[in-house]
Amino acid sequence: MLTCNANDCLEVFKIQLEPTRIVKLPIITDLKFDQLIQSEAVNDHDDYYPYTIREGEHIFPKTFALDSLDVAICDYIGIKSYPIWVVEPRQMFIEGDRVILQTTDRRLFAGKSKLLTNHSLILRNNKDVNCEVIDFADIHFIGRFARGISIT
């Protein structure tokens, strides 16, 4: 049991301030079940999400935020719990990157990427268990899941 008087139990917290800046990311707020992600048209939206980045972090071209409320997704990596997803459209990935992809038949997936062949991709869960094989010909959109943002 800890007993102390007011002068003996004060803790000093040192706060290290980091330089940050806020960028405005285009946000898609209305992705419906049967709607395709159009990364080329993301910047046509008038809605923006204020996104804080730290010194040394970079924003890739065409990065956008996606409001995930009511978005139907086959989620293998647990991103559904985040109401806002920051997505970087990419054509190249490192094995193990967390990706969001949409197939031409409008299904949405989130998983860890692994190249299976030069024609297909495996999506894995957080325990590196294979969950889905998708042919590149069936992919409409693919992007790297950069960050999930909780709004509290």
The predicted-structure confidence for 102-149, as pLDDT tens digits, reads as follows 999 989 999 999 999 999 999 999 999 999 999 999 999 999 999 998
Residue 61: closest CA among 82, 88, 34, 79: 88
Q: What is the DSSP letter of 57?
A: -
The predicted-structure confidence for 28-65, as pLDDT tens digits, reads as follows 887 766 667 776 555 555 788 898 888 888 888 889 99
Which pTM value belongs to this model? 0.77
Q: Which residue has the tokens 């299976």?
A: 116
At the topology level of CATH, where does 21-149 sit? SH3 type barrels. (2.30.30)
Q: What is the DSSP letter of 105?
A: T
Give domain limits for the chain.
21-149
Secondary element (H or E) of residue 20: strand 20-28
How many residues comprise the chain? Answer: 152
